[in-house]
A = this chain, B = another copy of it.
Amino acid sequence: MAGQRTIIRDLNRTRDKIFAAALTEFSAKGFAGARVDAIARRARVNKRMLYYCFGTKQDLYREVLRRKISQRADLIDSTPDKFADALLHLYKLGGTDRDFTRLMEWEAIDNGRGKLIAETERRELFEKAVARLRRAQRDGFLPKQIDLTQLFISMLALVIFPMVMPQIVRLISDMEPGDPRFVRRRAAFLRWIGDRISGDPAATSSTADKVNRRHTEFAAGVSHSKTRIHPAKKLAGLR
């Protein structure tokens, strides 16, 4: 066997290697920019195997996207109920997943107007997320009468923007979005803004409702930072 390499055939292994390489290449270059030659090289398989396993470059791309979206569906299901915790959770899991973020961004910028990959599933996930916000609002943990679709869009914006626009983050903060220092500061800020958004109720609420919600919020907020004490003092002043 001197100098002769034995070829071991394992279609599943080949398929997995191509898939992993494709995730990396599509994330880096998008569909149009990724080269099947490069994917094959990265996977250390013959280019022909890509067509053998997945059919076309487009089919491979769909599969990569479908699986990544499906994998990341855990984000919504595992989101805590408390708003600031939810924001942090989304950031920690989704906001720092560079491949996922970039795939979403390539999808965004590729200008398709047709049906999205896993569109139905994603709609359902997002509806679930907005429904949870609605419950939190109804239970008094979020201000009344704010637009919850806009709130949810804004949550996603706050969470994934650093990875989506790294050059802007670099220009403003002199840090890479993946830098642990940046992540720490971002997390602290998201904690703050999460608490801030979910804090005081809307000013137009009736006093009785406000008192009740105050009490609920105070109880819920008892483990919070001392920024929560001030609203309680205001409540005492009103009574």
Q: How many copies does the complex hold?
A: 2
| Contacts known (A186-B150, A204-B226, A237-B238); A108 close to B157, Cβ less than 8 A | no
A140 within 8 A of B: no
Residues of B within 8 A of A158 (CB): 154, 157-158
A-side interface mostly: helix
Chain A 214-235 interface mask (CB, 8 Å, partner B; 1/0):
0000000000001111110110
**Which residues on B sit within 8 Å (CB–CB) of A188?**
147, 150
Q: How far is the CA of A183 from the CA of B190 in the complex (A)?
A: 25
Contact between A200 and B199 (Cβ–Cβ < 8 Å)?
A: yes
Across the interface, A196 reaches (CB within 8 A) one of B109, B196, B238, namely B196
Assuming the contacts A32-B32, A226-B204, asked whether A108 and B147 have C-beta atoms less than 8 A apart, the reply is no
Is A1 an interface residue when CB atoms closer than 8 A count as contact?
Answer: no
Closest B residue, CB atoms, query A228: B203
B126 touches A172 (CB 8 A): yes
Contact flag A172-B153 (CB < 8 Å), given A105-B109, A146-B192, A196-B197:
yes
Q: Please, how many residues of chain A have a CB less than 8 angstroms from a CB on the other chain?
A: 65
Give CA–CA (A188, B151) in the complex, Å: 11
User: Which of A146, A149, A157 has the most B CB atoms < 10 Å from its CB?
Assistant: A157
> Within 8 Å CB of A230, what residues of B?
200, 202-204
Minimum CB distance partner of A108 in chain B: B165
Sample (23) of A-B pairs whose CB atoms are under 8 Å apart? A32-B33, A105-B105, A108-B165, A108-B166, A112-B167, A116-B167, A122-B171, A130-B172, A146-B192, A147-B188, A150-B173, A150-B185, A150-B189, A153-B169, A154-B161, A154-B189, A156-B168, A158-B158, A161-B164, A200-B230, A203-B227, A203-B228, A204-B227
